[in-house]
């Protein structure tokens, strides 16, 4: 049985990506700059006004700020509405934990980058913790987001050697360089089958 033209076209449609940001948006900029036929950034959503929103607007990409009020469950629902019909959601320096109301719609399609080789050194200080522990190798991880803190299924990892003269800032910069390459590689390898995000990398 041959595929109809509409089926073939759908298989080749770029992945529709929404990026969540909280800060400068440097990882977002990298994702925007490396768009190709495999994925397109259709929207950027932030939890507060930030330079990441400005980067989206400068690139002609729809952007929205969803402020966190006193009702966190409602904020998660508002975030779902803001994200809309994304194939994949990328948390790129987004500094809020996504709650059950959000994950009910997007678990299995939300991915995050982390500056360590998970499951080692989860949490907000992965670079500092790796240095303090004295490991010789750390790196970058791309993983699915679940209800835990950096506990979702690992998609891809790349190692970064720790040099004797490294401090937190220098090590983090080298990890960020790897992170930028890795997230683009993951997005280019992703596709949606039966409403499930499949990443073969």
Short-list 54, 36, 43, CA closest to 20: 43
The question of whether 114 is a catalytic residue gets the answer: yes
Query: Which residues, 6 or more positions from 199, have their beta carbon under 8 angstroms from its beta carbon?
Result: 155, 156, 186, 189, 190
Length reported for the chain:
201
**Angle ∠(128,130,134) on CA atoms, nearest 5:** 115
List 114, 125, 143, 172, catalytic entry: 114
Q: How far is CA 159 from the centre of its chain?
A: 18
Distance CA 50, CA 52 (A): 5
Q: At what angle do helices 26-33 and 168-189 cross, to 10 degrees?
A: 30
Q: What residues are labeled active site? A: 114
């Amino acid at each position: 049985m041959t595929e109809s033209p509409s089926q073939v076209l759908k298989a080749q449609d770029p992945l529709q990506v929404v990026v969540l940001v909280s800060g400068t948006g440097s990882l977002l900029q990298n994702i925007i700059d490396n768009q190709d036929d495999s994925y397109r950034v259709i929207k950027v959503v932030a939890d507060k006004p930030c330079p990441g929103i400005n980067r989206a607007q400068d690139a002609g990409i729809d952007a929205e700020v969803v402020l966190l009020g006193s009702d966190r469950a409602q904020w998660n629902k508002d975030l779902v509405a803001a994200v809309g019909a994304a194939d994949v959601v990328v948390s790129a320096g987004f500094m809020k934990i996504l709650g059950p109301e959000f994950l009910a719609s997007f678990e299995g399609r939300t991915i995050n980058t982390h500056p360590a080789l998970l499951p080692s050194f989860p949490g907000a200080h992965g670079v500092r913790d790796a240095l303090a522990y004295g490991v010789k190798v750390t790196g970058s991880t791309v993983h699915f987001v679940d209800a835990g803190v950096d506990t979702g299924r690992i998609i891809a990892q790349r190692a970064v050697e720790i040099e004797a003269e490294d401090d937190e800032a220098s090590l983090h910069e080298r990890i960020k360089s790897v992170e930028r390459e890795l997230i683009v590689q993951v997005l280019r390898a992703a596709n949606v089958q039966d409403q499930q995000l499949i990443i073969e990398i």
